[in-house]
């Protein structure tokens, strides 16, 4: 049986490690330091990142990145840290690296798979994305995700290695569509949260989701994605979850913006960085991304929520 490692013991990485190791499969979870690893080994819990969930006895926990010898490594670090992390990582040539993050690097404009290919050139790049919350995965609740790899053979192999009864992985070779679906939905979730936080109501949120999905699809297809990918788990499925649940960090941040408050920036809010990257690209290339540009303006304090909504509503009405 092949050995799998999860690199990153945040909530999502830890939940994946729990799910993958429940059947006794050899799985290692890597933490950033030996002290945290030892605490988790002794208590079989992750009190800071994923409280209330036990770590299976079969799950190995390590604080030494150099000792990880797994064939498949799930890289569960935030998107804005991925390039820096990979630049300092050991030589993983020949191994399969599966990004488990969502977003677009604000410095390079690259998504997770493209970043893996740029920073770990001799490895095999793949991506897991889609509608999921860490607590649901850790509890063993049914979760369906997209597994994207560049070849059908690699996607099939990873699907067999990583699928579990409650963790269903649907494969695709459209890595561009999968990574853009996971990134762009966070921007729209900010907008949906702003609509609720500002008191515009559920009908306004539904309009944001619908128009946001159209904007997501338009941009992704222009980048080479297949439209059916955006209609699946990594696009529409993730969009609906993220725009309708208080457990979504991006939605909750949008609610705070809508109320005139500052969101909690100690947690990862990928939609803010992604909106920045897309707004910069839209300005340079004259792209039609009105919702994204408005969200970036609100998030950076350049526009009030009410003014952003007014600007969007003043756009000419046309055939849908």
Residues labelled catalytic:
185
CB contact at 8 A, 99 and 82: yes
Q: How far apart, in whole angstroms, are the C-alpha atoms of residue 256 and residue 268?
A: 15
Q: What are phi and psi of 189, to 5 degrees?
A: -65, -40
Looking at residue 9, the DSSP 8-state letter turns out to be: -
Q: Which long-range contacts (CB under 8 A, 24 or more apart) does 88-93 make?
A: 89/65, 89/120, 90/65, 90/66, 92/120, 92/122, 92/123, 93/120, 93/122, 93/123
Which of 52, 51, 44, 56 has the alpha carbon at shortest distance from 17?
56
Tokens representing residue 170 in the block: 């649907």
Which of 130, 131, 79 has the alpha carbon at shortest distance from 272?
79
Q: How far apart, in whole angstroms, are the C-alpha atoms of residue 102 and residue 134?
A: 14
Residue 262 CB neighbours (<10 A): 10
Q: How far apart, in whole angstroms, are the C-alpha atoms of residue 75 and residue 115?
A: 12
Tokens representing residue 137 in the block: 């995965």
Q: Are strands 143-149 and 45-46 parallel, antiparallel or unpaired?
A: unpaired
User: Residue 223: exposed, middle, or buried by beta-carbon count in 10 A (0-12, 13-18, 19+)?
Assistant: exposed
Q: How far apart, in whole angstroms, are the C-alpha atoms of residue 62 and residue 31?
A: 6
């Amino acid at each position: 049986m092949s050995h799998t490692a999860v690199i990153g013991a945040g909530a999502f990485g830890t939940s994946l490690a729990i799910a993958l190791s429940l059947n006794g499969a050899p799985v290692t979870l890597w933490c950033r330091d030996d002290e945290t690893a030892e605490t988790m080994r002794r208590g079989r819990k992750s009190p800071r990142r994923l409280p209330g969930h036990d770590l299976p006895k079969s799950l190995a926990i390590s604080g030494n990145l150099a000792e990880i010898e797994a064939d498949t490594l799930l890289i569960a670090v935030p998107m804005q840290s991925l390039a820096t992390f990979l630049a300092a990582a050991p030589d993983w040539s020949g191994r399969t690296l599966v990004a488990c993050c969502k977003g677009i690097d604000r410095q390079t404009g690259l998504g997770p798979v493209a970043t893996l290919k740029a920073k770990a050139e001799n490895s095999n790049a793949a991506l897991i994305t889609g509608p999921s919350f860490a607590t649901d995965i850790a509890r063993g609740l049914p979760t369906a995700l997209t597994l994207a790899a560049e070849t059908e053979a690699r996607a099939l192999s990873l699907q067999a290695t990583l699928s579990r009864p409650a963790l269903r992985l649907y494969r695709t070779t459209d890595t561009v569509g999968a990574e853009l679906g996971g990134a762009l939905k966070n921007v729209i979730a900010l907008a949906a949260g702003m609509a609720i936080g500002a008191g515009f109501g559920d009908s306004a949120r539904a309009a944001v989701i619908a128009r946001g999905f159209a904007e997501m699809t338009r941009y992704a297809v222009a980048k080479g994605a297949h439209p059916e990918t955006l209609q699946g788990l990594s696009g529409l499925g993730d969009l609906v979850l993220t725009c309708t649940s208080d457990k979504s960090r991006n939605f909750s941040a949008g609610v705070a913006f809508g109320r005139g408050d500052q969101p909690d920036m100690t947690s990862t809010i990928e939609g803010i960085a992604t909106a920045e990257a897309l707004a910069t690209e839209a300005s340079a290339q004259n792209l039609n991304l009105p919702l994204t540009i408005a969200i970036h303006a609100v998030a950076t304090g350049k526009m009030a929520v009410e003014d952003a909504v007014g600007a969007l509503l003043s756009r000419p009405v046309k055939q849908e």
